[in-house]
Amino acid sequence: MGRRPFIAGNWKMNMTAASGAKLIGELKPLVKDANCDVALCVPAILIPEMVKAAAGSNIKIGAENVHWAPSGAYTGEISAEMLKEYGVEYVIIGHSERRQYFGETDESVNMRLHAALKAGLTPIVCVGEMLAEREAGKTDKVLDRQLTVGLGGVDDITKVVIAYEPVWAIGTGKTATDEQAQETIAHIRKKIGELFCPMCAQKVIIQYGGSMNAGNCKGLMAQPDIDGGLIGGASLKLDFATIVNYDKE
Ligand code: PGA
């Protein structure tokens, strides 16, 4: 199928210009022989410094959010063109923390996604169910809604990365089991096949996210439908390199 694995970090609201540049400097030699694509999504204000810190390496820099409009009266927001101007290549869209704390909806996810694609950024669209939804047997239904609305109107779905992040596994130390993650991601791929085309679904990169770390990454990455990881806590330290090198001894 030829899907190139993709490991991305999500720093969330962590790090400073100094500690971020130091970490990237230390990661560079450790990840240089990676057999996967590597990115770090960082707080917007750190982007220029982190792009400089990662220059000449295989670490690409991403943002954690993007606004849907090209410009205008949206105090506090950042457009896709602004990100692009500073060398950003990826952007996380619809992270569960944005859905939970900042009123993000499937509709706003879709608008942001179109803005990112138009500017030539690679979006990492996050989907995932809450614990109550999983326990009520509604996981597939929730994901189907997030995918149908969130990805609506996309011309080339292969330009979109999906991150499956069960909300109950984020920052909790509770990872989905390899089997749970595989089963749910296989469902996501099938749904993308129905919404777009089965052939394109086979090309879409789907990451797992939620307490993925140096200890559990090998098992997760061994699953046939898991193409990578979106790493929160473990991307703030050198463990990130261990995850990137999951396929080496
Ligand atoms: P975590 O976060 O790895 O700290 O669970 C993942 C994420 O929220 O992207």
- Residue tagged active-site, from 67, 95, 104, 129: 95
139-148 confidence digits (pLDDT tens): 999 999 999 9
Domain count for the chain, please give it. 1
pLDDT of the residue at 176: 87
Distance 210 CA to ligand 1 centre (A): 5
The pTM score is: 0.97
Distance 243 CA to ligand 1 centre (A): 13
Q: Which residues contact 177 (CB under 8 A, 6 or more apart)?
A: none
In order of 169, 210, 241, the CA distances from 173 in angstroms are 7, 8, 19
Residue 249, domain member (yes or no): no
Distance 108 CA to ligand 1 centre (A): 21
- Residue tagged active-site, from 97, 129, 133, 165: 165
- Give the DSSP H/E element, type plus range, for residue 220: helix 217-221
Look up 187 and say whether it is catalytic. Answer: no
Atom from ligand 1 closest to the CA of residue 235: 3
Which residues of the chain have a pLDDT value below 50? none
Residue 181, judged by CB atoms within 10 A of its CB (0-12, 13-18, 19+), counts as buried
pLDDT of the residue at 2: 84
191-227 confidence digits (pLDDT tens): 999 999 999 999 999 999 999 999 999 999 999 999 9
pLDDT of the residue at 174: 83
Distance 170 CA to ligand 1 centre (A): 5
Q: Which residues contact 172 (CB under 8 A, 6 or more apart)?
A: 210, 211
Residue 139, domain member (yes or no): yes
Q: Which CATH number belongs to the domain containing residue 77 in this structure?
A: 3.20.20.70
Residue 1, domain member (yes or no): no
pLDDT of the residue at 1: 55
Range of the domain at 164: 6-244
Q: Is 171 in the pocket of ligand 1 (CB under 6 A)?
A: yes
Nearest CA to ligand 1 atom 3: 232
Structure tokens at 146: 């997030």
